[in-house]
Amino acid sequence: MIEDIKKNAEKILGQIDFKAEIGLILGSGLGVLAEEIEDPVYINYGDLSNFPVSTVEGHTGRFVIGELSGRKVIAMQGRFHYYEGYSVQEISLPIRVMKELGIKSLILTNAAGGVNKNFSAGEFMVISDHINLIGDNPLRGENLDEYGPRFPDMTEAYSKELIKTAENSAAENGILLRKGIYAAMAGPTYETPAEIQFLDTIGADAVGMSTVPEVITARHMDLKVLGISCITNMAAGILAKPLSHKEVVETAERVRPQFIRLMKDIVKNI
């Protein structure tokens, strides 16, 4: 693992002449933000050592490194999910590589189902906390002591300061930004209505199949974390209609202009 982290970081550092400050992970249908990055250097996951390759429709598989809103960023255009068959340890590799490249903050975006009945499809939610229901943890196994402690504190997994920054950016841009708890499921099935009722009962506001393994890895290394969900659909059983990946991607595309505006302003102000 450590060898792959160092080798990949070195390979990427050989192609850029600056340190990245902010990492960005772009979720389903949200990869377009990477096209806003100026003077981009592209690094395909396939050219890296032991790197997983994203298999989902709506996900491209590469790092895009350059400048966004005047800040040096490294974006993952396409991410890895547990349901694709990757271990949570494999999912954590890119996060460790980005840490080696110098990032201090990590912004994660995702498409999520709305569990909170006050939400509507097309809205954004800043993640205040999460509930890990994937049933696995990327830090299981031997601890990588040089990156962080055996038993990391998760009291403030999502930086209060960055949440404030996101809320200010949303307000300044006239964008409604909900705040809530993200529950991570293994997938790839969408949830049953009974599962959604359960998630509602235990305090979740949104549900998705990503983000949490990456956040745990980032917190292990004491990176500051911000999570933004795009509520692409209301979760199963809330509205009388079936869920589809098509709807998820279509909603993400519909709110693209607001998403780009919000993210660029957040990056500027971090």
Interacting residues toward ligand HPA by CB under 6 A? 111-113, 190-191, 207-209, 232-233, 235, 243, 248
> Which candidate in 8, 34, 82, 84 is catalytic?
84
245 is catalytic: yes
Instruction: Tally the residues of the chain.
Output: 270
For residue 137, indicate whether it is catalytic: no
Instruction: Output 112 or 263, the one with its CB closest to ligand HPA.
Output: 112
Residue 211, CA atoms < 13 Å, CB-side half-sphere: 34
Nearest to 57 by CA among 234, 245, 232, 257: 245
* Other Cβ atoms closer than 10 A to 164: 12
CA 217 to chain centre: 12
**Angle separating helix axes 256-269 and 160-172, nearest 10 degrees:** 130
Which one of the listed residues 8, 9, 20, 28 is annotated catalytic? 28
In the residue annotation, 59 being an active-site residue is answered as yes
Q: Taking CB positions, which residue lies at the least distance from ligand HPA?
A: 113
Nearest residue (CB) to ligand HPA, 169 versus 232: 232
105 counts as catalytic: no
Residue among 8, 45, 59, 183 flagged as catalytic: 59
Residue type, 69: S
Question: Per the residue annotation, which of 116, 169, 210, 229 is the catalytic one?
Answer: 210
Which whole-number Å values give the CA distances from 132 to 24, 108, 183, 210, 211, in the listed order?
Answer: 21, 16, 6, 10, 10
Q: Among all chains, which residue has been given the structure tokens 């998630």?
A: 199
In the complex, least distance from residue 233 CB atom to ligand HPA, rounded to whole angstroms: 5
- The 3-state DSSP class for residue 42 equals strand
Cα–Cα distance measured from residue 73 to residue 206, given in angstroms and rounded to the nearest whole number: 27
Annotated catalytic residue, options 8, 54, 132, 233: 233
Concerning whether 220 is annotated as a catalytic residue, the answer is no
69 is catalytic: no
Smallest separation, CB 26 to ligand HPA (Å)? 14
CB of 35: closest distance to ligand HPA in angstroms? 22
Q: Which residue's CB is nearer to ligand HPA, number 207 or number 215?
A: 207
Distance CA 26, CA 60 (A): 10
Q: Does 92 qualify as catalytic in the annotation?
A: no
170 given a catalytic annotation: no
Which residue lies nearer to ligand HPA by CB, 111 or 262?
Answer: 111
In angstroms, the first-to-last Cα distance of the chain is: 30
User: 102 or 187, CB closer to ligand HPA?
Assistant: 187
- Contact between 16 and 37 under an 8 Å Cβ cutoff? The reply is no
- CB of 191 vs ligand HPA, minimal distance in Å: 6
In whole angstroms, the minimum distance from the beta carbon of 258 to ligand HPA comes to 17
Give the angle subtended at the CA of 71 by the CAs of 180 and 147, to the nearest 5°: 65
Question: Which residues does the annotation mark as catalytic?
Answer: 28, 59, 81, 83-84, 111, 209-210, 233, 245
